[in-house]
Amino acid sequence: MIGVEVAYARPDKQEIVPVQVPEGATALEAARLSGIAAIFPEIDVDTIDMGVFGKVIKDPAAHALRDGDRIELYRPLKIDPKQARLNRAKKKA
Protein backbone atom coordinates (compact mmCIF):
# COMPACT_ATOMS: atom_id res chain seq x y z
CA MET A 1 0.00 0.00 0.00
CA ILE A 2 1.07 3.57 -0.69
CA GLY A 3 -0.17 6.82 0.82
CA VAL A 4 -1.53 9.58 -1.41
CA GLU A 5 -3.74 12.64 -0.94
CA VAL A 6 -6.77 13.72 -2.94
CA ALA A 7 -7.45 17.47 -2.92
CA TYR A 8 -10.35 19.63 -4.08
CA ALA A 9 -11.13 23.26 -3.38
CA ARG A 10 -14.01 25.68 -3.77
CA PRO A 11 -13.79 29.35 -2.78
CA ASP A 12 -15.66 28.55 0.45
CA LYS A 13 -14.29 25.09 1.31
CA GLN A 14 -11.11 23.09 0.71
CA GLU A 15 -10.39 19.48 1.55
CA ILE A 16 -7.34 17.21 1.38
CA VAL A 17 -8.21 13.57 1.97
CA PRO A 18 -5.38 11.13 2.78
CA VAL A 19 -5.97 7.66 1.34
CA GLN A 20 -4.09 4.37 1.22
CA VAL A 21 -4.17 2.68 -2.20
CA PRO A 22 -2.53 -0.48 -3.54
CA GLU A 23 0.74 -0.06 -5.42
CA GLY A 24 0.04 0.54 -9.10
CA ALA A 25 -3.29 2.27 -8.38
CA THR A 26 -4.31 5.03 -10.77
CA ALA A 27 -5.32 8.62 -10.03
CA LEU A 28 -8.93 7.80 -10.89
CA GLU A 29 -8.97 4.84 -8.49
CA ALA A 30 -7.51 6.97 -5.70
CA ALA A 31 -10.12 9.69 -6.26
CA ARG A 32 -12.89 7.10 -6.04
CA LEU A 33 -11.43 5.44 -2.93
CA SER A 34 -11.00 8.80 -1.16
CA GLY A 35 -14.74 9.42 -0.97
CA ILE A 36 -14.22 13.05 -1.96
CA ALA A 37 -17.43 12.96 -4.01
CA ALA A 38 -19.38 12.48 -0.76
CA ILE A 39 -17.84 15.69 0.63
CA PHE A 40 -18.37 17.63 -2.63
CA PRO A 41 -21.45 16.13 -4.33
CA GLU A 42 -21.12 18.51 -7.31
CA ILE A 43 -18.06 16.69 -8.64
CA ASP A 44 -18.01 13.59 -10.83
CA VAL A 45 -14.67 11.85 -10.36
CA ASP A 46 -15.09 10.00 -13.67
CA THR A 47 -15.15 13.21 -15.74
CA ILE A 48 -13.39 15.91 -13.68
CA ASP A 49 -9.94 17.14 -14.73
CA MET A 50 -7.11 15.94 -12.49
CA GLY A 51 -3.47 16.67 -11.88
CA VAL A 52 -0.61 15.58 -9.67
CA PHE A 53 1.21 18.42 -7.89
CA GLY A 54 -0.11 20.99 -10.38
CA LYS A 55 0.64 19.04 -13.57
CA VAL A 56 -2.45 18.04 -15.52
CA ILE A 57 -2.96 14.32 -16.15
CA LYS A 58 -4.22 13.51 -19.65
CA ASP A 59 -5.66 10.10 -18.69
CA PRO A 60 -6.33 9.71 -14.94
CA ALA A 61 -7.49 6.11 -15.48
CA ALA A 62 -4.01 5.17 -16.73
CA HIS A 63 -1.77 7.38 -14.56
CA ALA A 64 -0.02 5.17 -11.98
CA LEU A 65 0.63 6.85 -8.64
CA ARG A 66 3.71 6.96 -6.45
CA ASP A 67 3.88 7.12 -2.69
CA GLY A 68 3.23 10.67 -1.48
CA ASP A 69 1.49 11.96 -4.63
CA ARG A 70 -1.24 14.59 -4.25
CA ILE A 71 -4.07 14.18 -6.76
CA GLU A 72 -5.78 17.50 -7.40
CA LEU A 73 -9.30 17.73 -8.82
CA TYR A 74 -9.86 20.87 -10.90
CA ARG A 75 -13.04 22.94 -11.20
CA PRO A 76 -13.99 23.98 -14.75
CA LEU A 77 -13.00 27.49 -15.79
CA LYS A 78 -15.77 30.09 -15.74
CA ILE A 79 -14.14 32.09 -18.53
CA ASP A 80 -11.34 31.43 -20.99
CA PRO A 81 -8.12 33.08 -19.67
CA LYS A 82 -7.51 34.80 -23.02
CA GLN A 83 -10.98 36.32 -22.93
CA ALA A 84 -10.49 37.46 -19.33
CA ARG A 85 -7.27 39.27 -20.30
CA LEU A 86 -9.01 40.88 -23.26
CA ASN A 87 -11.87 42.06 -21.01
CA ARG A 88 -9.39 43.58 -18.53
CA ALA A 89 -7.52 45.36 -21.34
CA LYS A 90 -10.79 46.84 -22.67
CA LYS A 91 -11.66 48.18 -19.19
CA LYS A 92 -8.31 49.99 -18.92
CA ALA A 93 -8.68 51.62 -22.36
> How is the chain split into domains, by residue range?
2-92
Return per-residue pLDDT of the chain as tens, 93 residues.
Answer: 999 999 999 889 999 999 999 999 999 999 999 999 999 999 988 889 999 998 999 999 899 999 999 999 998 877 888 888 888 888 887
**Amino acid residing at 88:** R
CATH architecture assigned to 2-92: Roll (3.10)
Q: How many beta carbons lie within 10 A of that of residue 30, not counting itself?
A: 27
| CB-based contact 45:32 (threshold 8 Å) | yes
DSSP string for 36-91: HHHH-TT--TTTSEEEETTEE-S-TTT-B--TT-EEEEEPPPSS-HHHHHHHHHHH
Query: Cα(72)–Cα(48) distance, rounded to whole angstroms?
Result: 10
* Helix (H/G/I), strand (E/B), else coil: 21: strand
Cα dihedral sign, 5-27-40-75: positive
